[in-house]
Structures are given as C-alpha cells and as structure tokens.
Structure 1
Amino acid sequence: MAQDIKLFPVYIGTDTGIIKGINLKDNNVENIVGQIHNKSINILKLFWANKQKNKILVIYKDGYLYTYDELSKNIKNIGNLNPHNKELISINRHEKFYIVCSVHDIEIWTKEFVKIANITFKNISCISQSHQPNNLFAIGGKENDLKIYNIKYLTMKEPNLIPIFEAKNLPNDNLDVRIPVWVTGIEFITSFKIAICTAFRQIRIYDYNRPTFDKSNRTLRSRPLISIEIPGANSFSTLKYMHIHHKHLLIGGDNEGGLAIIELKEESLHGRGTPIKIPSNNIDKISLLKVGKMINHKFIANKKYVHYANGSLRFITSIKATLINDENEKQIKDNKNLLMLSLDRYLRISDINNIGTPIHQIFLKSIPTCILIR
C-alpha cells in the first residue's frame, strides 16, 4: 500500500476544478483529485492543511473548502465561506481567521465558519498577506490605491478594521494631469517594505512605517519610495520578490508574457528616503524579457538597461520562487527556481540565473489557477 502513495513536489489547481500532481523527473502530469466539487468552478487556492504536508486544503471560487489526504485519498467538505455567491477574488488563511476577498468587500471569518467582520470597498483587484507576521494583509484595485490592514486589531467591539497605512498617489505630471491608479499585484518584501505593480506598467515600493500621519482617520499615508514605469512592458498582472545570492529582485509578470526583473540595492529596502523616479541610485538593474530568445537590448538613463525579447509565454497568472524539494530532481533542488503559470496552460520552471530559458516546460491541458509546492 505504501508503494502506491505518490507525494508530488508540485501541485497545480486548475479552472476545471481538478488538482494535478507534477512529476519533474519525467515531466509527467497526473490528475490527483478529479471533479470533486463542480468541474466549472475554478480552484482559487491550495494550502497545506497540516505541518506534515500530507493533507491539502482546497478552496474553490464559490467559497467551498475541501481537504484532500494524500495518504488515505480521502476528500472531505469542511465548509462554505461564500453563502451569498459573491464574485470572489481570493481567500487567504490566517492562524485564526479566513480573509475572504470579493470585488467589493473583505469579510473576516473564523475557523468555525462564523463571519465576524465586513469591510466595503470599490473595485478590488488583488489582495496579499504578509508571511512574517501573517496578521497583515493589503488590498488594491482600480482607483483603489494600496491599503494595509492589521487583523490583530479586529475585536468584537471594533468589527470595522481601519487601515494602518494608505498609499498616497504621486503628484500630477508636468501637464498637471492626475496619475491614474490601478493596483494589480501586491508583494510584502521586508518588515516595513511593500511593493505593488499596476495596469499602467508601474512598479512601486512603499515604506509603511514612515511617520506621515493623517489625523483625520488615524492612518499612515505616504507616497512611494521608488516609482518605476518600465519601458516596453505591458499591464502587469502579478509580482514576486526574491532574495538570492545577496541580490534583491522584484519580478513582475505582464499580460503579454513579459517579465520585468528589477534588482534593488540593500539600502533601498532598509533605509528611508524620499519618493524617486528613474534614474535612481536605489536600483542596480532593470531587465525586461520574455521567455524565448533574446533579440535586442538597449541602455536607458544612468546605465540602467532594458532587455527586449520575443517569446511564447502569454498572460502570466502566478509566479512562485522557491527551492523545489524533490529527492529525484537534484539539479533543481540545489538552485533557486522561478515557477510561472500562464493562460497558455503551461507551467514553466526556470533557474533564476537564466530565466529566459526554462528547464521545465509542462503542458497542463487545463488553465492553471494556483500552485502548491512541497
């Protein structure tokens, strides 16, 4: 019986409600969990349900939660976080709560599936949760700039959370035209630094511990420390931070398969400064590439340069950076890897030192929506 148990290093959730296990040794894809709920319902998130990493928590877009035991193959429905059938964007997990994000509000639910808070917004596009500490989460959207909340301030006496930080937009441009806002990706970097990407090919970094206090609503507000508009990029759809070999990298994926790779200096992450635009001494290098053959490059201001390339990668839906833990795949285990999901139904895995040439390119048949790594 034990020989029949397969523990895959990578699991993929799909838009058809199927969970796929990826065997990297032979690039084999297996359907681990079939249509346990409804084949037309996307899988929003996959989490490990226990510390042993042999039970998977599956969250569907209609709010239903299931657990799947890899050892016993048992599937169990544990509850519903969306009884009113709202259009969900994401569901994040806290030690004590579930953070349910829809297009127009945030709901906080207990692990016993009791709703204890509701915060109303307009046009939410994305949500992100801090890992250390995991009590912080941030939201943003179309004309809804970055806001950060601390869930530990949520009490029964104060069910309406107040943001601990709100982003302040950049000043009007040289024609006195307001800068539009559309946050499409959020990534926590350090204890007090957070980055966003936008639909207007911008990447910004904020320090949410800066002492700029708005007395009217008890909220910290500040403009970005770094604001970059990437030449040649398209609308960004996702953002990932990596720290490897003493390098600090921000990697943004756009909706045409472009990857903007920004290498930051140490002082830009730990120091404090004034809002800046390119050229900036806080940025070592900016690269823009697509998975494919590099065909051209040129230099921009202050010896920063941008790579342009053609490639086959389409709209990037998710980026993960990790050491893949697979006993059978030594050459991947020893290197930092970038895993990318896209709408062309491919999982691509690249070494961070050579992102443009994937070492694994696996066709999944279904559109991938989320990824879980052992």
Structure 2
Amino acid sequence: MAAKSQICSIWIGSETGILKGVSLSKKQAFNFCEVSHLSRDQEVCVMAWGDTYESEVLVGCVNGTVRTFSTDKGIFTASRECGEPSQGRFTGLAVTDSSWITCVESGLVKVWKEGSTESDTVEINVGRGICRMRQNPSQKHHVATGGKENPLKVWDLEKPDKAIFTAKNVAHDWLDMRVPVWVRDIGFIPDSDKIVTCTGHRQVHVYDPSTPQRRPVMEAKFGEYPLTALSLPASQGTVVVGNTHGELAILDLRKGLVRGCLKGLAGSVRGLQCHPSLPLVASCGLDRFLRVHSLEDRSLQHKVYLKSRLNCVLLSSRELESSIDVTGDVEEVKAEDEKDEDEVWDTMETVTEKSKKRIAHEEEEVVTRGKEKKKRKVAKK
C-alpha cells in the first residue's frame, strides 16, 4: 500500500470510516482502512496534516480517537483517545509544535502535548454548540471557534483564560428582531488580521479584530439554504462557500458580491478546500463525488465517484500530480469489505403492497366466511 499512498495528492474522509486517497495523474483512487476494525464508530469527522512534510494524515473519528496515517508507509501507525462520544463529534483538529489541538461539539478545546497523558492536557471551555474550530496558519497558537448561538471567538492557547476576541452579533433586522447566531465555518484571511465566517442563515461575515469594532466589517448573503463550508483561495480577495443544496459560489470579500458559481454538485457540501498555491478548489459531500474546479474559469477539472458519503477533504500543498490539464472520471479501487449502498439495496427482497382490488376481495371472503359460520350455529340450535 506504500506505493499507492505515495502517489495520492488528495485525501478524503468518509462516513464509513475509510480514508480514501486519490491520484489524479494516475486516474486512481484507493481505500486505506483496518478491515478488522471497520465500523460506523470510525466515521471520519475531521482531518489535518500531522507535520509540515505532509508525511502524516491525522484522522479524527466519531468515537473520539485520532488515528495517524503514514503516507510513506501506507498504513495507520498510531491511535490515541482524544475524546468521548458523549462530548460530541470532533469539530476541529490542528497541530502546533509537537502538540495536537482538538475541539468537540460540547465546546471542549484540548491541547495534547506529545507523550503527555490526559491529565496533562490544556483545556479550554469555549461554550456549547460548537460547529467549527480553525487554526490561524500564521499564528499557530491562535484558534477561532464558533457555533449555534455561540459567536466567533479567537483564543490564544498560551493564555487560555479568556478569548482575545469575541464577535458581537449583527444589528436587529428590519422588524427589530434579533438575528440568530449560527457559525458553520471559519477562515483566517492571509496577510491580515481579518477573519471570515459563513453561517447557517446564508450569511458571510468578515471581522477585523485589530479594530475596536466587534461587529462584521462586511456582510453578504448567498443562496436560499444554510451555508456549510468555506475556504480561501491562494489569490486574495475572494472566498469559496458551499451550502446544503450543493451550491458553490465565489464571493468578493470587499464588495460582498457573487463573482460566479461552480456547477455540478448534487448534495450537501461537507468538505471544501482551496489549493494553497494553485487556482483550484476541491469539494465533497453527500453525493459521494470528489470534484476539483478551476477558480479561473470555474470549469470542472475532475470528478471522482468514491461510493461512500464524504465528510472532509485534505489537499497536498504540492501540485496535484501535474494533473491540472487532465479531465475525466477517475477509476475507484474498492476495499474488499466496502459495499456500495446501492448494491445493498439491490440485494434486499422487494416487498410490494397488495392491490386495492385484491384487498377488497380478501375482505369480502372474510365477511362471507363469518356469515356462513353464524348460519351453522343457528342451524345447530
């Protein structure tokens, strides 16, 4: 499996708990999993690179474990308990120095130092209902959190007593009613102090913690459905957002206008990431496809069917195997234990409802038998 994993430049986490690697230049996809331990408890929630050399992929699962996958060896090399299912799913995973940073839905952010036990971890309670935690790429010890009725907050992990920035909700709407808070994803705008968020109420907000203003310095809306994910392209000034109906759009961060839409998606967007240096964006979600779009002409460059519902995507910082000009579907190599859900349904016995005429006929027979039985009892008397 080592030869297979080394050619993969895109990594996908699935609901079935399988880590999938895709090589666009070889037009192949591979499943990496421990067959004997595969279960729904292994569903992949979050992923992150384990080191700067991108030789390790950290995979956060529903059951609270974080597994380490070696891209050089093509196998999982370690597993660590970093949470409990009762605390909720992982909503963020990051690495700083030799420590891991995890965040769960209940609002518990933990810093796991290498070789330390759970009692040695740094814990921050950031509030309940967390939907996303993101690390600041330029300041690794800064993280941002946000969720349902839990506004954007920025935390310094070296001074965890209090958030260094807490966003203020937007002003009341035209009916003078409070606007609900529902932060779904967060991004740090490069070469600035600004932060962009997308919400479950179709909003895109830009905040500037370097100013006294705690309300958004820019607000825009997109579509008619909740936004689920965002990512910032290498070229500054725009953000890519996706929603629950498979709509992807590129928004101007200065004017709040939609620059264009990316076509082809059919299900809710769960994973979205722009390439660190190339004008490409990868997306995945409930329709089980990985798609790579060009941000220059918004064309679909690659489309890969991966058989499982997909939760997250992780791109390598190198060129995607020099495959920007390669188009077409990618062949998928399936793990022995994984079945397409459609195949499962096909093997099930079909149960059809009885026709109305047949039901009426059977009811008539029951009534007739009842009358005959009554007549026989009367005759015996």
* 1:132 is the counterpart of 2:138: yes
* 1:226 is the counterpart of 2:168: no
Q: Which runs of 5+ in 1 are unaligned?
A: 155-160, 213-221, 265-281, 293-311, 325-334
1:91/1:101 contact within 8 Å kept: yes
- Alignment CA distance shift 1:288-1:208 (3 Å): same
Aligned residue in 2 for 1:117: 123
Cα distance in 1 for partners of 2:209, 2:36 equals 42
Q: How does 1:71-110 map to 2 (within 5 A)?
A: 71-83=72-84, 85-93=86-94, 94-110=96-112
C-alpha displacement of 1:110: 2.3
* 1:203 is the counterpart of 2:195: no
Give the TM-score of the pair, scaled to structure 1: 0.75
Cα distance in 2 for partners of 1:199, 1:74 equals 37
For structure 1, which segment, 169-178 or 360-369, has the greater mean C-alpha deviation from structure 2 after superposition? 169-178
Cα distance in 2 for partners of 1:30, 1:21 equals 5
Q: How does 1:136-155 map to 2 (within 5 A)?
A: 136-154=142-160
Please state whether the residue corresponding to 1:283 is helix, strand or coil.
Answer: coil
1:91/1:98 contact within 8 Å kept: no
* 1:341 is the counterpart of 2:342: no
Give the TM-score of the pair, scaled to structure 2: 0.74
1:203-240 CA distance string (max 9 Å, x none): 1100011135xxxxxxxxx111001123x342100111
Cα distance in 2 for partners of 1:5, 1:288 equals 34
Aligned residue in 1 for 2:365: none
1:231-252 CA distance string (max 9 Å, x none): x3421001111242xx511111
* 1:321 is the counterpart of 2:274: yes
1:81/1:113 contact within 8 Å kept: no
Aligned residue in 2 for 1:49: 50
Structure (1 or 2) with the greater helix fraction: 2
* 1:372 is the counterpart of 2:314: yes
Structure (1 or 2) with the greater strand fraction: 1
RMSD after superposition: 2.5
* 1:168 is the counterpart of 2:144: no
Task: Report the number of matched residues.
Answer: 309
Letter in 1 for 2:110: I
C-alpha displacement of 1:80: 0.7
Bigger-Rg structure (1/2): 2
Aligned residue in 2 for 1:29: 29
Between the aligned residues of both structures, percent identity stands at: 25
Aligned residue in 2 for 1:67: 68
